[in-house]
Chains A and B, each alone.
Chain A
Amino acid sequence: EMQLVQSGAAVKKPGESLKISCKGSGYRFDNYWISWVRQMPGKGLQWMGSIYPGDSETRHSPSFQGQVTISADKSIDTAYLQWHSLKASDTGTYYCARHVVIRSAFDTWGQGTMVTVSS
């Protein structure tokens, strides 16, 4: 069964760093793109960026460029989303999602990681 399993919820203070993970199983991890999608409380979905674990090619949304780092380690079938200095406005749920090519629908989603940033 294809699956993406994300790391658990995090509670952080403004200015702290955080790295969340997304582990794939049941398919060839390095043959599919992984996107990160933000959902703020009670709101819609925003694409943040994508990575192709096979060669680490990365695409970023201009809205998130420079705010987060997207990476992957294909040896352990895991993608990451990292912040170096969190803000209260980063509070939300973050999903990873799989897609076969850069221009395709997201066919498998992780369960989501809730990030709360509060002083």
Chain B
Amino acid sequence: DIVMTQSPDSLAVSLGERATISCKSSQSVLFSSNNKNSLAWYQQKPGQPPKLLIYWASIRESGVPDRFIGSGSGTDFTLTISSLQAEDVAAYFCQQYNTSPPTFGQGTKLEIK
């Protein structure tokens, strides 16, 4: 199985500041058929299901604010929240869907400083 490792496990950022979460995969998640990276980011608020934010490493899901930016390729990926808002307090998970079984990172808990 591909192991997804996120860092840090938790993060506290001031309102309006940038938050950056890293996700590394144990092997490449590049999908050769379309030359895109099979990497998604999800946001999960307490008591709620995960919500898709980013897919193919950098494409924002419809309705997701443009302060959420996905980047990276191969085995190293980043989710950046350019200007933290109070409603962004949540856990964030990366997921690879290139190889079965699809696997998730352990999660990063984002809080307000």
Residues of A within 8 A of B (CB): 35, 44-47, 59, 61-63, 95, 97, 99, 102-112
Pair B104/A107 contact, Cβ less than 8 Å: no
List the count of A-B residue pairs having beta carbons below 8 Å apart.
56
The answer to whether A106 touches B40, judged by C-beta atoms less than 8 angstroms apart, is yes
For residue B101, which residues in chain A have a CB less than 8 angstroms away from its CB?
Answer: 47, 61-63
The answer to whether A109 and B98 touch across the interface, beta carbons within 8 angstroms, is no
Question: Which residue of chain B has the shortest Cβ distance to A46 in the bound complex?
Answer: B104
Identify the closest chain B residue to A61 (Cβ).
Answer: B101
CA distance in complex: A105, B29 (Å): 13
Using Cβ atoms and an 8 Å threshold, which residues of chain A touch B104? 44-47
Complex CA gap A109/B101 in Å reads 18
A103, B40: Cα distance in complex, Å: 11
Contact indicator B107/A44 (Cβ below 8 Å): yes
- Whether the pair B50, A95 counts as a contact (CB closer than 8 A) is yes
Given contacts A44-B107, A105-B52, A105-B55, contact A59 B40 (CB under 8 A): no
Which A residue's beta carbon lies closest to that of B38?
A103
Most chain B CB within 10 A, of A45, A95, A112, is at: A45
Interface magnitude class on chain B: 20 to 34
Give the complex CA separation of A1 and B104 in angstroms. Answer: 27
Q: Which residues of B contact A (CB under 8 A)?
A: 31, 38, 40, 42, 48-52, 55-56, 61, 93, 95, 97-98, 100-107
Given the known inter-chain contacts A104-B97, A105-B97, please indicate yes or no for A45 contacting B50, CB distance below 8 A: yes
Between A and B, 21 residue pairs with Cβ closer than 8 Å are A35-B102, A44-B105, A44-B106, A45-B42, A45-B93, A45-B95, A46-B104, A47-B102, A47-B103, A62-B101, A63-B101, A95-B49, A95-B50, A97-B49, A97-B50, A103-B31, A103-B97, A103-B98, A104-B97, A105-B55, A109-B49
Q: Which residue of B lies closest to A111 (CB)?
A: B49
